[in-house]
Chains A and B, each alone.
Chain A
Amino acid sequence: MNKSKGRVVSVNESLVGVEITEGAVINGEVAYIIIEDGKKLKAEVIDVKTGNMVYLQVFEDTGWMKFGDTVEFSGLPLAVKLGPGILGSVTDGLQNPLYELAKKEWFLERGLEVAPLDTTTEWHFTPSVKEGDIVTGGSVLGSVPEKLFEHKIFVPFSMQGNYTVESIVEAGDYTIEKDIVTVKDAEGNSKKLQMAFDWPVKTPMPFNKRSVPVNPLPTGIRILDALFPIAYGGTACCPGPFGAGKTVLQHSLAKHSKADIVIMAACGERAGEAVEIFKDFPELIDPKTGKSLMDRTYIVGNTSSMPVAAREASVYMATTVGEYYRKQGLDVLMLADSTSRWAQALRETSGRKEEIPGPEAFPMYISTLISAFYDRAGVDVLENGETGSLSIMGTVSPAGGNFDEPVTQATLLSTGAFWGLSRALSDARKYPAIDRIDSNSKYPSLLKLEEVSFLMELLREGKTIASNILLMGEKGITDEAYISYQKAELVDAVFLQQNSFNDVDGVTDPKRLRIMFDVVKEIIDAPVTLKGKEEIRSHFNFMRQAYIDWNMIRIDDELFQKQKLQILNLVKTMGAC
């Protein structure tokens, strides 16, 4: 193919103006700028102006670029390579594997590009089609074992129409670059296929048959699973001021959620925190599989000091990989931290392009982009009847924790569950600091609907009484109200709060959640005949103590039942007098 060429005319940070000298240019295609020392800097066409001028957003530092530098256009949009080998890897926002890069340079030097998937590993391929079979985009050609899963090898999804299999290799070990299948289209043109193929990151992968997310995805976090659940294939957003606990929450979701695959997109985040995941996850054992957590994880580590344009790409890259594993019939959870950094990258580029800014200088189209992004989550019923799902949880970091800003607002409109983090709760060290009253979810909970309403009612009543106590003092309210208040406080302290550093209390599976809730329900339903604020408070303090001790006992430990009985005995004594 004849590639188009151009030359650099202007440089303004990451935005580079290029005059086309040869051929045509496609909006969105990838281009390379060749600077003096021969380094090729990757860029993307983001604007085509009248005449023969285009603007590129460069994914790397533009230092040492000069007027007249040669530009080569690739003719292809920014794409991600999909195939075996993604799981367990850590890449930047352009799918360069960071560990491979580190072998070449300690620093993130420019112009380095490494094959996104290892080309030397041999995968054991077992074909599932034979010569003469008719296939089309998305048909399964065979499979290879990848970590914990059978990784299906597809006919690239972009291939439309019917193809006849001309030849296919026998079962055996092959690299992702090896031609494994030759197919022929209706006109008789042959095409060779490999185990991996490219997909443009900004184009959503089509669903086979989209269905509505209705099954709760257990996260191990009680307040979420009980009150504000996310469903398989659903979306959730978690806005909060810095320091309110987004990162800890996200790490916990990555470790404990009952998803097959977890994708973490560190989008413009602190390297110091991202490194915790890189180094921690391989060491952590997934209780479900007994293998390293990394075996079911893919990390996009596009940290804050990496170039801004790559930050924008990173979120899309992670999503595309998620869609790919959904096509494998797996349940994928993608965590994007933070979508605000991504939106800021868009704002930065938009400003350089001198677009007229919208509210808070974000581009006018920000809400459209945000809703289109979350719409890539969902449940897909595959041709063979299996389902796969992609759930997306994005954190939002609104300036000063003000939820009125455009990114938070657009995100709220696009997501099914809202976990609002509260500064007051995190100050009081109530983890997770998810606002008990203002958060919501439209997905079904692990508890029954009436049980959720029961808890929410208790919490609302507790909040009302708390504000009365603030105004009138404990002496200003009745014993009866004070008991309701103590019950709400107790439920918050022992059921909604979790000690994320305790092995047992840090994660609660659905079975334990049910037992815990039943005990909580007994406490709340029990009649209380205690008199006087002092006596009531003291009693609830003892109960809280017993419950906290219980939360740290394993369910298979013999002490578990004993401690449970102790709590229930305490409940009885409340009404004993």
Chain B
Amino acid sequence: MLKKTYENIDSIGRAILSIKAKGVHNKELAEVIYPDGKKAFAQVIAIEGDKVTLQLFGGGFGVSTNCKVRFLGKPVQVGFSDDMLGRVYSGNGLPIDGGPELQSDMIRVAGPSINPVKRMIPKNMIRTGVPMIDVFNTLVQSQKIPIFAKAGEPYNRLLANIATQTDADVIIIGGVGLKFDEYHFFKERIEEAGSKSKTIMFVHTHRDSIVEGLMVPDLALAVGERFALQGKNVFVLLSDMTQWSDYLRQVANAQDQIPANQGYPGDLYSQLASRYEKAADIDGAGSLTILGVTTMDDVTHPVPDNTGYITEGQFYMKDGYLELFGSLSRLKQQVNDNTRPDHRSIMNAMARLFSDAEERVKAQKFGSVKDDYSLRLLEYRKVFQKELMDPFRFLELEDALDLCWDILAKHFKKEEVGLSSKLVETYWPENGKFKILKK
């Protein structure tokens, strides 16, 4: 089919361009051809009569009214092959590691998600070795879950740790708006862990155009989904989805869309959902797990707020620690009754006592905490924080559960912990003999 080239560009914005053209499809891929022959990609995002609006992958800067636009008669696609493992690509799908370009099997980007009835109930725990996750908010294969953290927190370190400490078949890293040193960190961490041969990176850094950044999750998820359909257990890491949402806002703004909350487009929820919903445990195939980062100052901000309603929980990170309260794995109950009979109950008992201790911390400020029980609660809180809340301390789940019993027994009497008598009889450390806690 002959591809028609158009020359009458109407307007050029920061990330969009409009042109008069005929027979163009919504979401069609196009090429912007510069006077010197250089080419850049673009995608149709709106049509109004013969006016077509395109999103410019390379950004609007430097695009001239002398440029031509050629519509390619196909949607945005990405190459797919096993050879991608170990490689690094940019947000427009081109290699940035000096390796060869991919020409194989082209797959659709941002296609529909899987029919919910073809999903299986997630049932495989992902062991991370992080007690705050394994014990308190168990991560589950096929889960979609973000880390909510302020910009300065070591969330990328945690993300990389979780991905490499587990036994995923394929790890795909989608970096949106990464600083160069973060990109470098991911590369190093993956190499250190010996995971390079099963990892693919799609990287957008601050010097690249925002539209390329917008593409990163779609590329990462399309490739990840394909591996999952082949039966692989895939781990997709996305960092950072707040940056991604900000790019979305910029493009919507350039299109003169009526903004919803804080200038974000009205479809922010749908946009985030169609990406996160790619996570699935597929009946008769593999799984895709998404672990993302949502940087935030305040959880009521539209990005974390909408994210929280889509994802299956969140891990809160604060002052370098994983928070007990606020962190939540919605899928944990699918798996944590198959671990050990005490898992659920002790997790709740520990949290309930911690919450009581938090109350005492407030009361302490009034100087009113002097009774023995309150002092024990406060001491318990300190030990809990030190022993269990460090996200970079590695502990097998069973050891972490034993440690919980030790901590309870060190600070409380049996009847103070609110657990059923049966569990207490089975697991209470006998005669002060702790399994794992140093006395």
Contact = CB atoms under 8 A, between A and B. Distances in A.
Interface of A: 9-13, 17, 36, 61-68, 90, 98-99, 101-102, 105-110, 241-243, 247, 268, 270-276, 278-280, 301, 303-305, 308, 338, 340-341, 344, 347-348, 350-352, 354, 357, 360-361, 397, 399-402, 424, 427-430, 469-476, 493, 501, 533-534, 537-538, 541-542, 544-545, 548-549, 552
- Determine which residue in A102, A272, A427, A552 has the highest number of CB atoms from chain B within 10 A of its CB, and name it: A272
Interface string B167-193: 000000000000000000000000000
Given A428-B356, A470-B368, A552-B420, 20 more contacts: A10-B47, A63-B27, A63-B75, A66-B25, A98-B115, A99-B117, A105-B115, A247-B330, A278-B116, A304-B270, A344-B266, A347-B266, A348-B260, A427-B325, A429-B352, A471-B363, A473-B366, A474-B371, A501-B337, A541-B416
A271 B113 contact: yes
Contact of B351 (A344, A401, A427): A427
A332 to B, nearest CB: 23
Nearest to B28: A64
A501 to B, nearest CB: 6
Contacts of B310: 270, 304
Contact of A429 (B24, B258, B351): B351
A325 B438 CA distance: 63
Given A12-B48, A63-B27, A470-B363, A270 B312 contact: yes
Interface stretch (B152-160, B241-249, B301-309): B301-309
B381 to A, nearest CB: 14
Nearest to B324: A427
Contact of B299 (A63, A340, A400): A400
Contact of A243 (B326, B337, B371): B326
Nearest to B265: A351
B90 interface: no
B24 A10 contact: no
A542 B116 CA distance: 47
B106 interface: no
A66 B371 contact: no
Contacts of A548: 418, 420
15 contacts: A12-B46, A61-B112, A62-B27, A102-B118, A107-B111, A107-B115, A268-B273, A303-B116, A347-B266, A400-B305, A424-B355, A429-B351, A474-B374, A501-B344, A549-B421
Interface residues on chain B, size class: 35 or more
Nearest to B298: A400
Interface of B: 22-28, 46-50, 75, 111-122, 142-144, 257-261, 265-267, 269-270, 273-274, 276-277, 279-280, 282, 298-300, 302, 305, 308-314, 325-326, 328, 330-331, 333-334, 337, 344, 348, 351-352, 355-356, 359, 362-363, 366-374, 413, 415-416, 418, 420-421
Contacts of A107: 111-115
A188 to B, nearest CB: 48
Contacts of B368: 469-473, 475-476
B119 A501 contact: no
Contacts of A361: 258-261, 266
A429 B348 contact: yes
Given A429-B355, A534-B372, A67 B47 contact: yes
A542 B47 contact: no
A541 B363 CA distance: 22
A272 B143 contact: yes
B144 to A, nearest CB: 7
Contacts of A476: 368
Given A348-B267, A549-B421, A276 B299 contact: no
B258 A357 contact: yes
Given A400-B299, A501-B333, A63 B421 contact: no
Closest 5 CB pairs of A and B: A400-B300, A473-B368, A305-B277, A351-B266, A304-B273
